[in-house]
Structure 1
Amino acid sequence: MRRGGAGQARPRAPHSLRLPRLARCLPGLLLLAGCATVTPAATPLAEADILIHGGLLFDGSDGPGRIADVAIRGDRILEVGPGLRQRYRAARELDATGLVVSPGLIDPHTHPDTYLRSTEPAMRRLLPWLHQGVSTIFIGIDGGGTPDIAADRARLEAAGTGTNVAAYVGLGPVRRRVLGDDARAPDADELARMRGLVAGAMCEGAFGLSAGLFYAPQSFASTDEVVALAREAAIRGGVYDTHQRDESSYSLGLMGSIEEVLDIGRRAGLPVHIAHIKALGADVHGSAGEVIARIERARAEGQQVTADQYPWLASSTSLGAAVLPRWAVDGGRAALFARLDDPATAARIRREMADNLQRRGGAEAILMTGSGWRWSALTLQAFADAEGLDPVEAALRIIREGGTGRIGSAQRIASFNMRRDDVDLFMRQPWVLTASDGGDGHPRQHATFPEKYARFVVQDQVIDLAAFIHRSTGLTATTFGLEGRGFLRAGHYADVLVFDPDAYAPKADYVQPHLLSEGVVHLLVNGVAMIDTGLATHDLPGRVLQHRPPPGTCP
């Protein structure tokens, strides 16, 4: 194990180079004989557990990289700067020469339940994220977060996780707990109960309110209802994170949906964050510029607006969410199938499903990604042909046989519905973060950050390396108020990534979505090595992070 030479006793100078003895006794006077020679004492080296040295360091800000070292003790960074080997004695040194050193990446939009909720400790390491260099993930997104934040945190802490975890309270569970799956507005008492659930979750540490207004039953919530709930998050210093109501032309349209997001933020008085911003489907291709201009205008007026994005041309959702009209699922699956038993209503459902398929680019543009089913790895069109059905009937068969789950279910799809120029334009915006939206069956779960680096930084130079790191670390931490995370600074938590700029790359694709990415050399989470010389360890050092509301806003 190498150590710097500064810790050794300083050798005495040769006799011929020593000053006469009186030089130290009478400084400023003529040198006289008879004063003893004294050698200044060597400065003792400070103790560190880990010293990362020689790498090209990006500290999480939007500044350029520089050659600098990182000294770590316990779960904290002691110092960041050049020449630290001359000042620290470390139990372990990591030579990062030729490598990139950055804060651990932060993924603000994930679907990790297969891993995070597993009974197997090896699964709870969250390897798909670790091998991308991710040290912190957000859960409860798309409006799916439980209001029981404290109880869920206790379960996760008791089980242990490989990354840090931050959670939202979600509109979906809040609404279901009070209104079920019904398409109706809450009365005054019901709304008060829903507000209480959001307030309670914020006081237990939720980072904000997440909504998925595209998905039933959240789609049944009016703007006014969402504003009332978002105010509870605003009072307690949270954000409003949203899968907006329409990314295409399903209901109020992409631009109408952007206006709703901004309206909710203004009226509720809190920052808004648009999840996986995109222009989905042929009806809105080419709309990125208009969306950006509207958001820029809101930001210029003082509104806090950010977004995140994944670097893929295919989105991922459930087949039912993609093709079923929302009115048809009022009351849940049983109500849907009852409507399909009525010929006139069923005909209307089928017509609207055909329209929705067209919005998605047709049955050829939908790939079934749920595993273990006879339609797995087939396009909807290929499955329809194999079953001798038209695509709408094939979709209804999958919906009927494939169960109720949206994430990781038999209905899971990859929907090829975005245009590259829109993706590039969104990516260039300084307020657009990186997020995976990573769930089972789509390569973005295993490969989003390396894909963005390899394709959009190195190959096509859409953004540079400093922007990639800033929008995957420091800007993300600042946007969501992650204290002590996202930057390489003295006193911050030691979430540190070291990757090989020539080898950091995705392996997963749409055919093999579960291949782990390559090129992460070291990843520390709270000072503990989770990737060590390219290999995953078996520790579970992740922490469940807790938002702290302003004083006086909670009981």
Structure 2
Amino acid sequence: MQKSVVVLAVLAALAVLSSAARAATDAPAELDLLLRGGTVYTGDSNEPVVGDVGIVGDRIVFAGRKAPAQFSARRTIDATGMVVAPGFIDAHTHANADLHSTDPRKRLNIPFLTQGVTTAVIGNDGFGGFDIAAQTQRLRSAPVGTNVAMYVGFGPVRIDQLGEANRAPTPEQLDAMRQHVSRAMCDGALGLSTGLFYPPQNFSKTEEVIELAKVAARHGGLYDSHIRDESMYNIGLKGSIEEVIRIGHEARLPVHVAHIKALGVDVQGQSGDIIRRIEKERAAGLDITADHYPWTASSTRFSAALVPPWAVDGGREAMLKRFDDAAVQERLRTGMRENLRLRGGPETILFSAGSTKYVGKTLADVAKASSADPVDAAIAVLRDGDLMIASFNQSDEDVRAFMKRPWVMTSSDSSLGHPRAYGTFARKYDQYVVKEHTISLGQFIRSSSSLTADTLGLKQRGHLRPGYYADVVVFDPARYAAKATYTQPALLSEGVVTVLVNGRLAVDAGKPTGVGAGQPLLRTPKAGSCT
């Protein structure tokens, strides 16, 4: 309480005093930390200033100019030659297992902190539980390294009422689903997230999704979606963008396309069409945004990539039975062969996590070793288990095109066996700012911090402003780079020298401190919507 009073007093003094009066005043004020002489990007502009950032407690006192003369600091960090920016916000992660782990080190989220990420969003792709209050309690009782914002996931909501069945909910079941979403929103969820590509979520009709999105809208939330098709699996990439747009219009809420991409040989090159369609809607008033990761390989479960949705109706056990059902073999194998073609063939599928029998090999390698047809080899692998894959299915041109748009923010879509968990933000800077000059440093910082905070409604985050929470990254522009690769995906990034989470040092002199200063970031529901 005493620290908060000090922060408020300092901020009040700065608000009242003119710059001339501040220079003349003799009244000293003590900071907890001063970052001195850095190249400061506040998140408000693509242009930096060389200056200082002063912090008291968990708040920023001033940023982007030289410290007023009356300020002293308990500790000063020389940031000369370094980039000082708002802590990065990862708009789409699957870090929930680590953040809720019983292992204190996993909860620190070190692969994220060492890239400068201070907030991770979880519950994406419709996988987030609707127990937002319980998740919040766990995050508060067991320290975590980064802040955490949460979506309520369509998957658990639907499974609670329908299991993994391919059928529509009854009116009573739909009402129960609405109640789950409403409770989650009242407990602080950002909004509703769906993964309409994944079973059993892909068994839903658009109208079912709209009904639940309306609940999120009533509470002032967002709609976030791994769209139904990023390729030509069913309704196609363009059809899936139209579905998101329809949901936004009919449910009357902001909509967000998760890890936007053009996946597979049939849609590569369509980024221009997708961008024009989205920007037409934005110009007409629809609040539609997206996130992306700077890699040409996606990552998913092998079954999701190759097995047609009808064949996984009922879950893994039902899928395995269909592998032995002579009556469906032609349909099953035709579907799998077509899905493999869409992804570019067996050479583009790299087994990345799961059984060590296959990890590090492509599907082509496995098929060749067993002298088997690729589809037969795929079925044999799936009988052993469902592995994570890296699927090389995008073009650099499409990745760059999406990255340049001012409504596209950075995300990792972090997953096992893919370097994006350890290196997304660092790779985006090193590859696309430094090496290729695809975007500017200011664009990189904005798309990784303030754009994300403002879009998701994370109050007093994402900017270096007086009174805002002190989530800050300091990195060496000559050294900041990803080290993780597709064959060594768990190598920490380099070049981040200081990270503050809520004013506490999470990385100091380039090393994690072991401090768990992260907090759950709960969205405030629309006034009166939860009474």
TM normalised by structure 2 equals 0.94
Q: CA deviation at 1:42?
A: 6.2
Instruction: Give 1:129-148 correspondences, 5 Å limit.
Output: 129-148=112-131
Instruction: Give 1:273-292 correspondences, 5 Å limit.
Output: 273-292=256-275
Q: CA deviation at 1:147?
A: 0.4
Q: Which has the higher helix share?
A: 2
Indicate conservation of the 8 Å contact 2:89/2:452, yes or no. Answer: yes
Q: Which amino acid aligns with 2:266?
A: D
Indicate conservation of the 8 Å contact 2:31/2:74, yes or no. Answer: yes
Among candidates 37, 43, 56, match of residue 73 of structure 1: 56
Look up the match of 1:121: 104
Among candidates 490, 495, 503, match of residue 466 of structure 2: 490
Q: Measured at CA, do residues 41 and 507 of structure 1 come closer, stay the same or move farther in structure 2, by a change above 3 Å?
A: closer
Q: Measured at CA, do residues 113 and 385 of structure 1 come closer, stay the same or move farther in structure 2, by a change above 3 Å?
A: farther
Does 1:419 pair with 2:379? no
Q: CA deviation at 1:62?
A: 3.3
Instruction: Give 1:336-485 correspondences, 5 Å limit.
Output: 336-403=319-386, 411-485=387-461
Indicate conservation of the 8 Å contact 1:61/1:475, yes or no. Answer: no
Q: Which amino acid aligns with 1:534?
A: G
| Structure 2 Cα separation of the partners of residues 62 and 106 of structure 1 | 17
Look up the match of 1:407: none
Instruction: Give 1:56-455 correspondences, 5 Å limit.
Output: 56-84=39-67, 86-403=69-386, 411-455=387-431
| Structure 2 Cα separation of the partners of residues 178 and 253 of structure 1 | 28
| Structure 2 Cα separation of the partners of residues 229 and 41 of structure 1 | 58
SS at match of 1:192: helix
Q: Deviations over 1:193-236 (max 9, x none)?
A: 11111011000110000000000000001000000000000011
SS at match of 2:331: helix
SS at match of 2:145: coil
Among candidates 504, 510, 514, match of residue 534 of structure 1: 510
Q: CA deviation at 1:158?
A: 1.1
SS at match of 2:125: coil
Q: Which amino acid aligns with 1:548?
A: T
| Structure 2 Cα separation of the partners of residues 173 and 42 of structure 1 | 59
Look up the match of 1:553: 529
Q: Deviations over 1:392-427 (max 9, x none)?
A: 122112222215xxxxxxx10000000011111111
Q: Percent identity?
A: 51
| Structure 2 Cα separation of the partners of residues 339 and 511 of structure 1 | 33
SS at match of 1:449: helix
Q: Deviations over 1:147-171 (max 9, x none)?
A: 0100111112211100000000000
Q: Deviations over 1:8-28 (max 9, x none)?
A: xxxxxxxxxxxxxxxxxxxxx
| Structure 1 Cα separation of the partners of residues 311 and 403 of structure 2 | 35
| Structure 1 Cα separation of the partners of residues 88 and 68 of structure 2 | 26
Q: CA deviation at 1:85?
A: 5.6
Q: Which amino acid aligns with 2:501?
A: V
| Structure 2 Cα separation of the partners of residues 525 and 142 of structure 1 | 26
Q: Which amino acid aligns with 1:515?
A: L
What are the ranges of 5 or more consecutive residues in structure 1 without an aligned counterpart?
1-39, 404-410
Q: Which amino acid aligns with 1:519?
A: G
| Structure 2 Cα separation of the partners of residues 285 and 145 of structure 1 | 30
Q: Deviations over 1:363-404 (max 9, x none)?
A: 10000001452001100110122233221122112222215x
Q: Which amino acid aligns with 2:423?
A: A
| Structure 2 Cα separation of the partners of residues 198 and 416 of structure 1 | 35
Does 1:499 pair with 2:475? yes
Indicate conservation of the 8 Å contact 1:368/1:413, yes or no. Answer: yes
| Structure 2 Cα separation of the partners of residues 345 and 293 of structure 1 | 41
Indicate conservation of the 8 Å contact 2:41/2:64, yes or no. Answer: no
Would you say how many aligned residue pairs link Structure 1 and Structure 2? 509
Q: Deviations over 1:301-353 (max 9, x none)?
A: 10000000100000000100000100111111222222222212122111110
SS at match of 2:178: helix
SS at match of 2:339: helix
Among candidates 43, 48, 55, match of residue 38 of structure 2: 55
Q: Which amino acid aligns with 1:213?
A: L
| Structure 2 Cα separation of the partners of residues 534 and 85 of structure 1 | 28
Q: Which amino acid aligns with 1:434?
A: T
Q: Mark the structure with the bigger radius of gyration.
A: 1
SS at match of 2:448: coil
Query: After TM superposition, where is structure 1 displaced by more than 3 Å over at least 4 residues in a row?
Result: none
Indicate conservation of the 8 Å contact 1:51/1:85, yes or no. Answer: no
Indicate conservation of the 8 Å contact 2:46/2:441, yes or no. Answer: no
* Greater alpha carbon shift after TM alignment, 79-88 vs 500-509: 79-88
SS at match of 1:471: helix
| Structure 2 Cα separation of the partners of residues 41 and 233 of structure 1 | 52
What are the ranges of 5 or more consecutive residues in structure 2 without an aligned counterpart?
1-22
Indicate conservation of the 8 Å contact 1:53/1:85, yes or no. Answer: no
TM normalised by structure 1 equals 0.90
User: What is the root-mean-square deviation of aligned Cα atoms in Å?
Assistant: 1.2
